Structure 1
Amino acid sequence: MLTLRRAEPRQSKKLSLTSLLTGLVTLVVLLTSSILLIGSYESKKQSLMETTLHLNYYNADRMTKTMDSLFQSMRSSLEYSAATLSDDDASTPEQVDDYLELMRNSSNYFNSIAVVDADGLLRNVVPASLGPVGDRITSKAGLEALAIKKPYISSPYMTSTTKRLIVFMSQPIFSNNGTYRGILSGTFYLQENNILSMIFGDNNVDDSGSYYYIVDSSGHLLYHPDKQLIGEDVSSNKVVQKLMKGESGEQQVRNTRSVEMLAGYSSVPANGWGIVVVSPLSVIHYQLMGHLRTILGYSLFPFIILLMGVILVACKLARPFVYLANLVSRMGKEKIVLPEAKPQWSREADLLTKAVLLAVTDIQKQTDQLTQEAATDALTGLKNRRSLEYTMSQWIASGQPFSLIVLDVDKFKLVNDTYGHLVGDEVLKHVAKVIVTSFRPDDVCHRYGGEEFIILMAHTRPEEAFTVAERVRRALEQSRGPIPTQVTISQGIAHYPIHALEREGLLEKADQALYLAKSRGRNRAMVADV
């Protein structure tokens, strides 16, 4: 047969006071630290961006001044050489070539130098491998320089013969009487070693990833770390647009490849070119991460010490309350041994501990008293029927052999009818007293109900129980009771597990033996049949 049990409601796991205090303080510390870190991050980010912008502008301005001086020197070199050539009419072509070669090698300003007459014929060129003398120049820059008869500098362009990307500079040549005789031109190759790469090095401003590039007055790249980009039109860049207007400054900008950059830029007065020094914004982020790692590295150990201190304080603060909570939760489930109340460091915890311990002591006393009363017969002071059933169930469950004696006062109804119920109660008390003084120390006597008593005897054989029953019977027979007539008892004896294997069957066997004793004349003990 299945027995349905009502499902008990699931109890959710409660948060302990220690965990709560520790969690709250830890949360406060973490939130405070996070706010400080965010504030430090934003402040450091702004500072790094401003510093990087200023530094890039400083580098661009410094390089601009260098380039301005360089082009003034290049222009002066062309002017001086043009003046020398205009005054020297007696020189042979070979002597002019030697002079141009000396000019090219001594200054390293130009990769090639040439003299072109007013009709556009190439009179002299070094190095000679560039083309035959006597050819007519066809480049747009060369023709434009001849036409304007003034100092000239071109935008980058690709030559038709050598396929080099070059910048072309020229100085007009006039005779002593002012006759226009042609131009002295110098070129430098943008994608090869030239005066710019010699002066400005490998294009790295520092080790952070910053670099610079140079643009001409029309927005074309003259110099860049990636040589494949030289000559490209970058006039759409906002910084380059400002350089084309002759402006200088610093700003955050997105380049033509949509990369955020911090740019410092400056224009070159001598030729209208511009220099831009840029640092990728990712460098700032990398430095910020390093800054945060440093802060965390310095603050981690103090944070751990603080957290350990908080946990210790929380544990100490919560200890009395945890103890009281555990103490109260055990009430009603087990026997509680109360320790001596110790003073607590917190006034509130000390008062609460003393109050709870006092209350628990009173409750435990009342509980013990109620438990004792619930298991005791009020009239005789013996164990009652509830206690009997509990003890028998425990012994049977553990397999412990025992005997029991069922005692019944003979003709007790006649006593009540003759002397009254009050006297009958006195008779029962007398019988209980004689039984207690007659059985062994380990035996337990219970009042089963009315005038019936049951003695439980652990580890006792039926014959030993019979001996005890006879001793009790004789003691009562020889005692002087509260009534004039003699008080006697009849007894039935049964044994577990000889006579029965369960409580009800064992009591029934003992009752059968008791009825047999009464039927045979009372005042005797009988052992149940197997």
Structure 2
Amino acid sequence: MKKGITLRFTISLLVITAILLTMLTSITSAVQVNRTSLIDNYLNKNESYSKKMAANANELLKTMQDNLRAIAVISGRESTMDRQLFDDLFQENTQYFNSIVVADHERVVQAISPHTTGISVGDKLTSEQSKKAVDIKKPFISEPYRATTGRLIILISAPIEDKNGAYKGFVGGTIYLEEKNVLSTMLKEHFFGDGSYVYVVEKNGDLIFHPDRQRVGQNVVQNEVVRKVISGQTGSQKVTNSLGEIFLAGYAYESSSSWGIVSQTPYEVIDKPLNLLVNRMLLFSLPFLLLILILAWWVASRIAKPLHTLARFSDEATLKPVPAENIPDIHSYYYEVRLLSQSVKIALQSMNRDLTHLRHEVNVDELTGLVNRRGFDGVMAGWLESNMPFALILIDIDHFKLVNDTYGHVVGDEVLRYLSRLMKLVASEEDVCFRYGGEEFGILINRSGLARAKDMADRLRDQLAITKSPTGQPITISAGISAFPAHGHSAEELVMRADEALYQSKENGRNRTTVSKAAQ
């Protein structure tokens, strides 16, 4: 009789296929979940960074305008600006301006520093921006333009008035966009590294800062992110830039200058951690796979042996009669099948545990060990679906930027971990402590109302205020509280109410707890 496929081969192939498909499903699921998490993480980080840079740019421009106003006051008192005095004033502002000029109401240069700009005292300024400075007689920040010297510059001006308030002219500070300037000094090193960078556009979509200086002055308004940010929007998204490259971009609008600041990371940076994840899963699974394959082969042999014995017995029985006592006992066949079933079950449980562990890691903030934003969204959705009452506390560390600026980001990270530990101490086991993003944290309080939430927030504030943080000094927090169902029936409503209350705490002086007054 012609031999077909053996039972041992069939069972082994079935087990191998099941294991490989399970492994493939686990790896694919883990990669997809991590890809989404990494994209969200980079988008959130770049949006936060662009907001930070916009705030820094606002402070920088305010400082520059204040300095120009101070020079304008001095110029208003002097009938003729002393050259040495003016040079000294410029030296005090070299970190902000590439050059400073004083012009009268007819735009005739009265003083200029440095003296190598290509313009001299007595020359008349002819640019439309200098005309505008004289016409409006107010502080303003110009659009980029080509000066008579050939430089692409931005002019920041402040009006000069005499002691009687009569207009005398203006003080103008320039930023040379194609040379080293205050913007390039502030923005050239991206906080996150890994190929990320920042660029700045003015309200018409022209680049006024880019790591590649050759691109300064180009119009990139066709970029979707640029169109959004110069229209006054702030946010984040995946975008294809003007060169066809894909980035994960965050953007923020700086209102005082109408500049848009974009922080973006190349999309391909997420490939490295994903490849590392796949390699680790394969490396971790291969020994177990090998062990299970050996076991499957043995189990298949054990299953096939009694059936082979029965087949041989049947073949022999067709040739000659066999006594009943010689019929082989194949009862063990059922026991071996149960063994195989149990082995496969154990293998699948092992794979499921690996997947569960990976999913758990996706929902935990790596720095603090608290539930992250994704985990928070999941818990909130579950509690809302169960329709049980709960309260939400949103927490923000007061003046956390000052901590990072004063002590460095390493100490800043320790402060975040320190706050996380104290949050766990005041919360119960049923409550969920989470990191919302940056220095923002929160607590979901299970089956509780506003009174318990406020008491918990105040206890946490009081403890922080009397305990030394990693900075060596206590820190303070501001908190906002909302509750379900009193303040809303969706996650968006509850977060918005708590965030409004948190904003009120900060507006009222920080280091306080505010309960949302808005109710459904």
* Residue 114 of structure 1: aligned partner: 101
Would you say 1:57 and 2:44 are equivalent positions?
no
User: How far apart, in 2, do the equivalents of 1:206 and 1:348 lie?
Assistant: 61
8 Å contact from structure 1 (residues 203, 224) kept in 2: no
Q: CA deviation at 1:343?
A: 5.9
| Paired residue secondary structure (1:129) | coil
The CA distance in 2 between the partners of 1:239 and 1:12, in whole Å, is 70
What do the CA deviations read for 1:340-394 (whole angstroms, capped 9, x no partner)?
98766724699xxxxxxxxxxxxxxxxxxxxxxxxxxxxxxxxxxxxxxxxxxxx
What is the SS of the residue equivalent to 1:38? helix
- Match of 2:85, SS state, is helix
Checking the alignment, whether the CA contact within 8 Å between 2:306 and 2:333 is kept in structure 1 is no
SS at 2:116 equivalent: helix
2:248 aligns with one of 254, 262, 275? 262
| Shift in CA distance, 143/176, structure 1 to aligned 2, threshold 3 Å | same
| Alpha-carbon distance, 1:173 to partner | 1.0
How far apart in 1 are the matches of 2:312 and 2:103? Answer: 108
* Structure 2 CA distance for aligned equivalents of residues 305 and 82 of structure 1: 82
Q: Does 1:231 align with 2:217?
A: yes
Offset of 1:88 from its aligned partner?
1.9
Partner residue of 2:167 out of 180, 187, 200: 180
Instruction: Provide the identity percentage.
Output: 31
Report the Cα distance in structure 2 between the residues aligned to 1:327 and 1:256, rounded to whole angstroms.
78
Q: Specify the alignment match of 2:134 in structure 1.
A: 146
Partner residue, 2:464: none
Distance 1:13 1:204 in 2: 69
What is the SS of the residue equivalent to 1:186? Answer: strand
User: Does the aligned pair in 2 maintain the 1:212–1:276 contact within 8 Å?
Assistant: yes
Q: How far apart are residue 101 of structure 1 and its match? A: 2.1
Which of 67, 71, 79 is the aligned partner of 2:69? 79
- Which segments of 5 or more consecutive residues in structure 2 lack a partner in the other structure? 320-325, 337-520
Structure 2 counterpart of 1:177, one-letter code: N
Distance 1:12 1:244 in 2: 79
Change (3 A) 1:13 1:139: farther
**Secondary structure of the residue that 2:92 maps to in structure 1?**
helix
Which of the numbers 185, 189, 194 marks the counterpart of 1:198? Answer: 185
- CA 326–197 in structure 1, closer or farther in 2 if over 3 Å, else same: farther
Which structure has the larger Rg?
1
1:258: Cα distance to partner?
2.5
Contact 1:17 1:322 in 2 (8 A): no
Q: Give, in whole Å, the separation in 2 of the partners of 1:119 and 1:204.
A: 43
| CA distance, structure 2, for counterparts of residue 348 and residue 147 of structure 1 | 99
Instruction: Give the distance between the partners of 2:266 and 2:316, measured in 1 at CA.
Output: 67
| Structure 2: distance between partners of 1:223 and 1:21 | 65
Q: Distance between the aligned counterparts of 2:302 and 2:254, measured in 1?
A: 73
Q: CA 1:16 to 1:349, structure 2 compared with 1: closer, same or farther past 3 Å? A: farther
SS at match of 1:128: coil
When residues 20 and 185 of structure 1 are mapped into structure 2, their CA distance, relative to the original with a 3 A threshold, is same
For the aligned residue pairs, the C-alpha RMSD in angstroms reads 2.7
Report if the CA contact (8 A) 1:254-1:261 is conserved. Answer: yes
Once residues 45 and 143 of structure 1 are traced to their aligned partners in structure 2, the CA distance between those partners, rounded to angstroms, is 53
Compared CA separation, residues 326 and 125, structure 1 to 2 (3 A)? farther
Please give the alpha-carbon distance, in whole angstroms, between the structure 2 residues aligned to 1:329 and 1:212.
81
What is the match of residue 17 of structure 1?
7
**1:355-394 paired onto structure 2 within 5 Å:** none
How do residues 20-169 of structure 1 correspond to structure 2 at under 5 angstroms?
A: 20-89=10-79, 91=80, 93=81, 95=82, 97-107=83-93, 108-130=95-117, 131-161=119-149, 163-169=150-156
Hey, what does 1:315 align to over in structure 2?
301
Q: What TM-score do the two structures reach when normalised by structure 2?
A: 0.59
Q: Deviations over 1:30-49 (max 9, x none)?
A: 11222222222221111111
What is the deviation of 1:164? 2.0
Query: Residue 137 of structure 2 aligns to which amino acid in structure 1?
Result: K
Contact 2:303 2:333 in 1 (8 A): no
Conserved? CA contact 1:321–1:349, under 8 Å: no
Task: Give the whole-Å Cα distance in 2 for the aligned partners of 1:98 and 1:344.
Answer: 110
What amino acid is aligned across from residue 153 of structure 1 in structure 2? I
Q: Deviations along 1:452-498, whole A, 9 cap, x unmatched?
A: xxxxxxxxxxxxxxxxxxxxxxxxxxxxxxxxxxxxxxxxxxxxxxx
Please give the alpha-carbon distance, in whole angstroms, between the structure 2 residues aligned to 1:302 and 1:255.
45
Whether the 8 Å CA contact 1:170–1:183 is kept in 2: the answer is yes
Which 5+ residue runs of structure 1 have no aligned equivalent?
1-10, 334-339, 351-530
Matches within 5 A, 1:347-362: 347=333
Q: Secondary structure at the match of 1:239?
A: helix
Q: Give the deviation of 1:166 after TM superposition.
A: 1.4
Q: Distance in 2 between matches of 1:326 and 1:286?
A: 57
**Alignment partner, residue 272 of structure 1:** 258
Letter in 1 for 2:128: K
Structure with more contact order per residue of length (Cα contacts < 8 Å, sep ≥ 6): 2
Q: Secondary structure at the match of 1:265?
A: strand
Contact 1:320 1:349 in 2 (8 A): no
For 1:213, which of 194, 199, 209 is the aligned residue?
Answer: 199
Q: Distance in 2 between matches of 1:12 and 1:243?
A: 76
Distance in 2 of aligned mates of 1:29 and 1:256: 46
User: For the residues of structure 1 that align with 2:11 and 2:253, how far apart are their CA atoms?
Assistant: 64
- TM-score norm. by structure 1 comes to 0.57
CA change 1:173–1:330 in 2 (3 A) is: farther
**Letter matched to residue 264 of structure 2:** V
- Asked if 2 retains the 8 angstrom alpha-carbon contact of 1:78 and 1:184, the reply is yes
**Distance verdict in 2 for CA 1:87–1:293, change over 3 Å:** same
